[in-house]
Amino acid sequence: MQPKEPSPALRLTVDSRALVANWNTLNRLSGAAEAGAAVKANAYGLGIGKTVPALWEAGCRDFFVAHWSEAGPVAAHVPAASVSVLHGPLTEQDAIYARHLGVKPVINSLAQARRWIDAGGGQCDVMVDTGINRIGLPLTDLGDSLILQLSIDILHSHLASADEVSHLNALQLERWNDARGQVAHRRASLANSAGITLGSAYHGDLTRPGIAIYGGTPCAALDGKIAQVARLEAAIIQVRELKSGDSVGYNATYVASRQMRVGVVSLGYADGYFRVWSNAGTMIHQGQALPVIGRVSMDMTVIDLSNAPTLAEGDWVEVVYDLPDAAAKTGLSQYELLTGLGRRFAS
């Protein structure tokens, strides 16, 4: 008989009520427009399976991924949804795959439009660049006969500075409105999470929130409206006693000034718990703070157990990972903090 799978020593739990509440909030803030969901990068690291079906249940009908490798897993969970692949068809094979799977490429160039039409075409989205200068069709190409041949569902553009006060927002809005007048399409979309807060002019028919669904607050207008979704927990794999003068971890960056009990936790930078948390992070147990001491290593982090003297090997602690706060403390973006989480977490 096969032995049972070893139990994981890391857990990432998705609070699906918070997830759905956040999406409902963003859908409401989108006014007359519908909210979709950006679920690229495995739903910002939280897991397609733990997010996409719940969002569908809540009423979300439009899902956005970046890579072709992400389209199949999303479509498998929500076969009746509209799934758009933001990077567009880079090869003929991508176009054939999209048609087979029933997902839409987002056309970002005349070459992609040509590729899509040559593969047989069908409904697609178009991304027009209005000033971010990342991917997207230049506005001047919108009138090209190739674009006029497309059957466009969503005409997208993407804001460069939605999370701050910038003259670019109004400029991109104006160019996006121009684009809407130039080419036939069913729906128009411009706003990401932060863009939703810029007002109804930015909403179009459909918004594309991502980070705020998952508990991030990219701008002050969303403060207090978004709930934490991801909860991280890690197991203690060893407990030890330090004497005054003992040091902890690589390069001895922490030196005990007294006798103390410490725990070694099975979490490290390979799990996305980066070295910035060295001597800076906190874990908690029953409301008690357990500070990180010494350097975070690849698979281990040491915490001070002074506030939780009963904790022992095999017990679990929660990792403090409030996104806005963690971003302020580490200098990492809330996006990096979520998408950087590794693959060793179980649900």
Ligand X SMILES: *Cc1c(COP(=O)(O)O)cnc(C)c1O
Please give the Cα distance from 270 to 234 (Å, whole number): 13
- The answer to whether residue 211 forms part of the interface with ligand X (CB under 6 A) is yes
Q: Which stretch binds ligand X (CB under 6 A): 140-148, 208-216, 235-243, 304-312?
A: 208-216
The one-letter amino acid code at 164 reads E
Q: Which of 299, 193, 290 is nearest to 249 (CA)?
A: 299
The answer to whether residues 300 and 266 touch, using CB atoms and an 8 Å cutoff, is yes
- CB 41, min distance to ligand X, A: 8
Q: Min. distance of Cβ 192 from ligand X in angstroms?
A: 3
Q: In the beta sheet, which residues pair with residue 242?
A: 260
Contact between 202 and 190 under an 8 Å Cβ cutoff? The reply is yes
Does the protein bind ligand X through residue 42 (CB under 6 A)?
no
Query: Looking at beta carbons only, is 9 or 48 nearer to ligand X?
Result: 48
In whole angstroms, what is the distance from residue 144 CA to residue 219 CA?
37
Task: Say how many C-beta atoms besides its own lie within 10 A of residue 100's C-beta.
Answer: 8
What number of H helices and E strands is found in the chain?
11, 19
Q: Which is nearer to ligand X, 268 or 324 (CB)?
A: 324
Smallest distance, Å, CB 153 to ligand X?
15
Q: Which is nearer to ligand X, 70 or 318 (CB)?
A: 70
Q: Does position 193 bind ligand X by CB under 6 A?
A: yes
Q: Give the CA count within 13 Å in the CB-facing half-sphere of 162.
A: 25
Q: Does 218 engage in binding with ligand X (CB under 6 A)? A: yes
Q: Which of 312, 316, 332 is nearest to 324 (CA)?
A: 332
Residues 110-169 that bind ligand X (CB under 6 A): 158
Q: Is 56 exposed, middle or buried (0-12, 13-18, 19+ CB in 10 A)?
A: middle
Q: Which of 212, 256 has the CB closer to ligand X?
A: 212
Closer residue to ligand X in complex, CB, 194/234: 194
Pick the binder of ligand X from 209, 215, 268, 324 (CB under 6 A): 209
Active site residues: 40, 250
For residue 66, the minimal CB distance to ligand X (Å) is: 7
> Which residue of 86, 236, 320, 326 would you call a contact of ligand X, by CB under 6 A?
86
Q: What b/e readout covers 192-227, taking b as 16+ CB neighbours within 10 angstroms?
A: bbbbbbbeeebbbbbbbbbbbbbbbbbbeebeeebe
For 338, the enclosing helix (H) or strand (E) is: helix 334-339
Residue of the chain from 12, 14, 18, 38 that contacts ligand X (CB under 6 A): 38
Least separation in angstroms between residue 72's CB and ligand X is 19
210 touches ligand X by CB under 6 A:
yes
Nearest residue (CB) to ligand X, 215 versus 281: 215
Binding site for ligand X (CB under 6 A): 38, 40, 86, 158, 192-193, 208-212, 218
